Amino acid sequence: MDMNRYFSSILAIALLIASSGCNHTGSGTAVSASEIQQKNITSAFPDDSTKVSTKYAQGYKVTYSGALKLLEISDPTAKNKTVYRFALTEDPECDIPAGYTPIKIPVNSVICMTTLQLAGFITIGETGHVSGMSSTRFLHNETVRKQIEDGTTKRIGIEGNFDNEVIININPNLIFFSPFKRGGYDGLKEVDIPLVPHLGYKEPHPLGQAEWIKFIALFINEEAKANRIFNDIAQQYNTLKEKVATQQGERPVVLSGEIHGGSWYAVGGKSFLAQLFKDAGADYVLKDNNESGGMNFDFETMYEKAANAQYWRIMNGYQGEYTYEVLGKSDPRYKDFRAFKEKGVIYCNQRERGFYESSPTQPHLVLKDLVKIFHPTLVEEDYKGTFYTLLEK
């Protein structure tokens, strides 16, 4: 399916069903965004600490105008962008620019379709707003787990098979969704709830992905908190990155992924993972590739590129103790890689580490894990790793 047409259809649904929130002008005629700004309405957001601006995230931007937060969302990696526009406001009488979907804020109840969206609420300590979520597989956060246990947060089914009856009973203010190919979002057209795209997973920079905590904050009026938290994350990330940049000598080479179903899946050289490797002082085997998303390779191609790489990043949900013996049994050809022979496997078990619900908004800790492995003297000696560690056995 053409993705631009798919995105446009989803937006059309959202425009039709988002009936709550700010009204248009009393005459019923929508005004333009420039007309709103030219009115010089006294801003409801006079303190810059309560405003969001982005430095790394490329997938959204917000303009504060009077009582409005004018939000534009698009795919940060797409050449021909579909732009989604929302007008967030507490004032039910405000004028809404043409082409913007009104949303009344602060929202009290939302549904998250992915753990990346949930990560934003976790990081700023506002999980109480999450009334529903999709698959809770590998969920580690104790607060959210308790919310699920006591019924505060409901399971709405898995991707491609959502339970509309549960969603209707939750009756959230809005649903955050990510346009995955198997999302099953067509079924949500039966549910009269605004759909807001969350495209943080498409950001090519780790801090860009983390900066979507500010995006979440826009809907719950917690910009000041999100700004403080993000600034601390960015400061820690950049301080360590700068320390790594002073290192002299050869940079280690790292590969990523495994072979599944006959293909080796790996992300491109413009991805957030490639950026993490670069900032941690290593060269990704696909660093010269210009793709930001994932690609499939045959074994021979990847072996040719990565046979002599010193390190190999692997993440899975293996049940039990993951060892070199287990890795070697999964495909005996792995034993020919230098990273296997020299025990250079960088490993994360998502069953144990809560990777997807935490790492997207804590890139400074992911970077620290990698620096500890690539340049151990730059990190405190007793640091054990938050997500990644070297596989030892």
Write out pLDDT tens, residues 250-274.
899 999 999 988 899 999 999 999 9
What are the residues whose beta carbons fall under 8 Å from the beta carbon of 12, sequence distance 6 or more? none
- Please calculate the CA angle 3-6-11 and round it to the nearest 5 degrees: 125
Q: Does 248-390 match 3-232 at the fold level? A: yes
**Which pLDDT value is given to residue 4?**
46
**Which pLDDT value is given to residue 183?**
56
- Please calculate the CA angle 193-170-191 and round it to the nearest 5 degrees: 30
What are the residues whose beta carbons fall under 8 Å from the beta carbon of 70, sequence distance 6 or more? 33, 36, 62, 63, 64, 85, 86, 87, 88, 97, 100
| Domain spans, the chain | 3-232, 248-390
- Taking the C-alpha atoms of residue 26 and residue 129, their distance in angstroms, rounded to an integer, is 32
- Taking the C-alpha atoms of residue 202 and residue 78, their distance in angstroms, rounded to an integer, is 9
Which pair of tokens denotes residue 213?
């905590």
**Residue the block writes with tokens 């296997």:** 340
Strand partners for 96: none
**Which pLDDT value is given to residue 53?**
94
**Which pLDDT value is given to residue 7?**
40
Assign 253 to helix, strand or coil. strand
- Taking the C-alpha atoms of residue 118 and residue 183, their distance in angstroms, rounded to an integer, is 17
**Which pLDDT value is given to residue 185?**
62
Task: Evaluate the CA torsion angle 162, 165, 167, 170 in order and state its sign.
Answer: negative
pLDDT along the chain (393 residues), means of 10: 44 38 40 45 63 95 94 91 93 91 95 91 96 84 93 86 86 86 60 88 95 97 96 98 91 94 92 96 95 91 96 93 95 96 96 88 97 95 94 92
* CATH class of the domain whose range is 248-390: alpha beta
- Taking the C-alpha atoms of residue 225 and residue 195, their distance in angstroms, rounded to an integer, is 25
Residue range 340-366, pLDDT digits in tens: 999 999 999 988 888 888 999 999 999
The helix or strand, by DSSP H or E, that contains position 238, with its residue range, turns out to be helix 223-245
Backbone dihedral region of 192: left (phi > 0), alpha (psi from -120 to 50 degrees) or beta? beta
- Taking the C-alpha atoms of residue 338 and residue 342, their distance in angstroms, rounded to an integer, is 6
Domain 3-232: give its CATH superfamily.
Nitrogenase molybdenum iron protein domain (3.40.50.1980)
